[in-house]
Chains A and B, each alone.
Chain A
Amino acid sequence: MITKSIEVANGVKINYIETDKFKTNYFSFNFITLIDKEKSPLNTLLPRILTHGSASYPSQALIDKRLQYLYSSSLVTRNTTIGKFHIFGLMADMLNDKYTASTSVTSEMISLICDIIFNPYLENGVFSKQYTESEKLEVIDAINAEINNKGRYSLNRCTEIMCEDEIFSIKKTGNVDDVEKITPEQLYKAYKNALKNYKIEIYAVGKLDIDKIALTLKAHFEKIEREIETMPSIEIKRSASEVKRVCEIQDVMQGKLCMGFRTGRTIEDGNYHIAQLFCEIYGGSPTSKLFVNVREKKSLCYTCRSMITQKSGLMYVMAGIEATNKQIAEDAILEQLDCVRLAQITPEELESAKKSLKNSYMNIYDSPSAMELWTLNRELSGNFDEPIGEAQRVDSTTKEQIAEYARGITLDTVYFLKGEDSNG
């Protein structure tokens, strides 16, 4: 997929995916490091404080006005984790110059992004106190708002319980206390550290003058002495021992069941497509075992699905149910897992899972951001196959391989969120 990669500094690479399929160009700038209890809350704030004001556009309002002028270009912050990695930075999309009268939107956007990253708005040599405080407040609000989405809340709680001593349970934002104590000085130090030490991956998708952009970036990095940090490898737990059970009460109408499993394998072990196929068959589609049996046949729920996070080797099954049906739902979910373990997969199920999976791989080529995300994910796992390559490997997968994958899965945690006066 990548047309060209240019190293612009030590540990800083710009990757170009050339295509004329779209009316927009896409650009992203990503810092990559490990999730860390101390550093992640600071890193979470970084993209936010940077987009709050730069030297040339010293306020949010001025940056936004500039974006409107540049034909409603979008510039959003990225703050995400993929397995053990914390990825934060900026993502932008902009209209091709073809559709804009006399304005070179793309090169103006690159200048704006460089200004935001390399020339932040400072007061007394550090980030603005006022901006820091208002961004802290935003993050604190977001932490407090985690209870608003019950599905995601139960997923997060399940992970915290399941991975108590592991890197995966660390919240990238930190807790309210961690955020409250952050100072503009600490934040500025974290910024300097990120530019100096973190691995940086930059992506450009569309029709851009990549050599010119690389030169611009090179010039900015020349002023920085790069010393790239080493990231230690992380051992993951391959199987669960005793099943942990936690039930919590909130004022909710519907119970949320979230079951956490260990799959025993990660993306580094290869066979990415087998894990994906398993998930399709088990609970990832409207023809999956969970959808057909737990939702349609038993009429227990509206949502019941499985999800695999391949970089951490975890699987989740989530269902929204009447609290009184909890045990019935849990049993039904495990019963369906046993069916896959016993290779009780019809040729039609296998065939449709393969088609559906290939369909989603091929879909990636239709969106600049999906292509970028795929490539970034591959970069992090050291596997550089294209979607089309994975799609081809799907074809030769047998149901025995899928059953074998399922047999390696063990139940670790059962988390249940329910209303106060509900039974079950």
Chain B
Amino acid sequence: MAEIIVKENEMLGEKYYTFKHKSGLRVYVFPKNMTSSYALFTTKYGAIDNKFKLEGEEEFTCVPDGIAHFLEHKMFECENGEDAFELFAKTGASANAYTSNARTAYLFSTTDNFYESLEYLLDFVTHPYFTEQTVQKEQGIIGQELRMYDDHPGARLEKGLLQALYEKNKVRIDVGGTIESIAEITADILYKCYYTFYNLRNMALAVCGNIDVNEVEKICDKILKEAPEQTIIRDYECDDEPRGVYKKRSICSLAVSKPIMAIGIKNTNIADDPNERMKQFYAIEMLNEILYSRSGEFFNTLYDQNLISFDLDASVEHSEFYSFNVISTESKDPEAVYDYFVSFIEKTKEQGLDKEAFELARRAIYASNIKMFDSTDDIAEALITNYLEDTELFEIPDTIMSIDYEYVSKIFYELYNEDAYAMSVVNPIGTTEEK
């Protein structure tokens, strides 16, 4: 029996259990009185992990771009020819998977037969089966998926931005790879990646719903075998990444009605300490609320001049290896928005952040984090994010409230420097040359 730790938060009226299973897997069980339950099985392995070795190995292995995503697709094929979706069809669970920069996740939600579905989930993800034929078939399907994203303005915008912000950092790699890179994938390389990253010591399981922690442990006992001890050494080559952006603009053309644009701010000020990093993250979220909300000057000035539409989004990604802030919108004149952005930031630096806006922003971020606890999916996702970031889910509300005006101001002055800005634009066809 593993030692089960209970975490509680009185204000939220919530608690969860966590234990390290004897197989090496970290498990989180969050009981929640909902009709449906959600399970998320994740490996710390994503698109950025394309150069790695195990401790003791001499050479680094370099693999084709897009392989983590390819592997995710292939995991659904079982050795007996069955598709993992067919397993979940037996229980009625709705299953899916996704790959991002730093993680691959397999999930299901169900209102019935939770434990049986959990067995299927743990079982299929721990049983790889690849052959040259099945790899070839997948190249056709993923080829069409990549084509679909080629026509997707939002996907092109994001890709362009990351490739402008970063010169070397692996975050600039497209999660799906390219038609050319996935053509290099073979069954052997897939196995190599699988046995490196799908080691249970590099993985975590989070479940949320009407679930009993002891039952979950029993299922782990039944399905999971002890994983060999191993240490993965990953080379993100991010130490060589310059502070400034790689290029100021990334411009492409697509069949869109009006230019869409994203201004990125590259952040190289990333704390090593996980808790401090979490604090930085929420401070940047507050800054986004202060600077770009619809109640603020930035939005209203641009909106009144018809330079932007009602949809102005600001979001932040802040992890150990990369951090950037994105402001995206539609505009008939992206350069004019960019110029205003630069002058607005300079003016705000001179005047300092508005204190009332800070108070409202902190309140807004605090409230969104409480609202999150209404969704089993969001809770499981948050548990996994905190696992990957080595932080504690229940400390978030206190962390948010501990952030003061001075701290946010400090982050503001550190983050906003003109050499850290870049812009990605997707123009309507026939307006601008591609750069």
The distance in angstroms between the C-alpha atoms of A61 and B111, with both chains bound, is 42
Q: B30 to chain A: closest CB distance in Å?
A: 14
Contacts of A145 in B (CB 8 A): 256-258, 330
Range of interface residues on A (Cβ < 8 Å)? 35 or more
Q: Is the C-beta of B342 less than 8 angstroms from some C-beta in chain A?
A: no
Q: A90 to chain B: closest CB distance in Å?
A: 15
The distance in angstroms between the C-alpha atoms of A64 and B300, with both chains bound, is 11
Contacts of B256 in A (CB 8 A): 145, 147-148
Q: B330 to chain A: closest CB distance in Å?
A: 7
Q: Is the C-beta of B351 less than 8 angstroms from some C-beta in chain A?
A: no
Q: Is the CB of A358 within 8 A of B258?
A: no
The distance in angstroms between the C-alpha atoms of A164 and B140, with both chains bound, is 36
CB-based nearest B residue for A250: B255
Give A292-341 interface residues, CB cut-off 8 Å to B: 292, 295-296, 299-303, 320-322
Contacts of A322 in B (CB 8 A): 144, 147
In the complex, identify which listed stretch (B32-40, B227-235, B414-422) lies at the interface while the others stay far away: B32-40
CB-based nearest A residue for B34: A366
Q: B353 to chain A: closest CB distance in Å?
A: 15
Q: Is the CB of A72 within 8 A of B110?
A: no
Give B267-310 interface residues, CB cut-off 8 Å to A: 289, 293-296, 299-300, 303-304, 306, 309-310
The distance in angstroms between the C-alpha atoms of A366 and B373, with both chains bound, is 12
Q: Is the C-beta of A107 less than 8 angstroms from some C-beta in chain B?
A: no
The distance in angstroms between the C-alpha atoms of A388 and B75, with both chains bound, is 34
Q: Is the C-beta of B43 less than 8 angstroms from some C-beta in chain A?
A: no
Contacts of A359 in B (CB 8 A): 36, 92-94, 109-112
The distance in angstroms between the C-alpha atoms of A291 and B84, with both chains bound, is 13
Q: B15 to chain A: closest CB distance in Å?
A: 15
Max chain A C-beta neighbours (<10 A), residue from B110, B147, B303, B371: B371
19 A–B contact pairs at CB < 8 A? Answer: A24-B374, A60-B300, A60-B303, A61-B296, A137-B306, A138-B309, A138-B310, A145-B257, A146-B257, A148-B256, A253-B147, A253-B150, A254-B144, A287-B85, A320-B148, A351-B89, A354-B92, A363-B36, A366-B375
Contacts of A72 in B (CB 8 A): 363-365, 367-368, 371
The distance in angstroms between the C-alpha atoms of A244 and B92, with both chains bound, is 37
Q: Is the C-beta of A237 less than 8 angstroms from some C-beta in chain B?
A: no
Residues of chain B having any CB pair with chain A under 8 Å: 11, 33-36, 83, 85-86, 89-95, 109-113, 137, 140-142, 144-145, 147-148, 150-151, 153, 254-258, 260, 289, 293-296, 299-300, 303-304, 306, 309-310, 330, 360-361, 363-368, 370-371, 373-376, 429
Contacts of A300 in B (CB 8 A): 140, 144
Q: Is the CB of B361 within 8 A of A23?
A: no
Q: Is the CB of A286 within 8 A of B36?
A: no
Q: Is the CB of A287 within 8 A of B429?
A: no
Contacts of B374 in A (CB 8 A): 21-24
Q: Is the CB of B360 within 8 A of A356?
A: no
Contacts of A64 in B (CB 8 A): 293-295
Contacts of B151 in A (CB 8 A): 150, 252-254
Query: What are the 6 tightest A-B residue pairs by CB atom distance, in nearest-first order?
Result: A355-B92, A352-B89, A72-B364, A144-B257, A299-B140, A362-B111
The distance in angstroms between the C-alpha atoms of A171 and B269, with both chains bound, is 49
Contacts of A69 in B (CB 8 A): 360, 363
The distance in angstroms between the C-alpha atoms of A362 and B109, with both chains bound, is 11
Q: A240 to chain B: closest CB distance in Å?
A: 29
CB-based nearest B residue for A352: B89
Q: Which of B144, B294, B365 interacts with A60 by CB under 8 Å?
A: B294
Contacts of B303 in A (CB 8 A): 60, 134
New A-B pairs, 16, CB < 8 Å, besides A138-B309, A366-B35: A21-B374, A59-B300, A60-B300, A61-B295, A68-B361, A69-B363, A145-B330, A146-B257, A150-B255, A287-B86, A296-B141, A320-B147, A348-B86, A362-B35, A362-B36, A365-B36
Contacts of A251 in B (CB 8 A): 254-255, 429
Contacts of A21 in B (CB 8 A): 33-34, 374
Contacts of B95 in A (CB 8 A): 286
Q: Is the CB of B144 within 8 A of A320?
A: yes
Q: Is the CB of B294 within 8 A of A71?
A: no
Contacts of B364 in A (CB 8 A): 68, 71-72
Q: Is the C-beta of A216 less than 8 angstroms from some C-beta in chain B?
A: no
Contacts of B83 in A (CB 8 A): 286-287, 292, 296
CB-based nearest B residue for A359: B92
Q: Is the C-beta of A383 less than 8 angstroms from some C-beta in chain B?
A: no
Contacts of B367 in A (CB 8 A): 71-73, 95, 99-100
Give A344-389 interface residues, CB cut-off 8 Å to B: 348, 351-352, 354-356, 358-360, 362-363, 365-367
Q: Is the C-beta of A65 less than 8 angstroms from some C-beta in chain B?
A: yes
Q: A337 to chain B: closest CB distance in Å?
A: 20
Contacts of B375 in A (CB 8 A): 366-367
Contacts of A363 in B (CB 8 A): 35-36, 109, 111
Q: Is the C-beta of A243 less than 8 angstroms from some C-beta in chain B?
A: no
Q: Is the C-beta of A141 less than 8 angstroms from some C-beta in chain B?
A: yes
Give A85-126 interface residues, CB cut-off 8 Å to B: 93, 95, 99-100
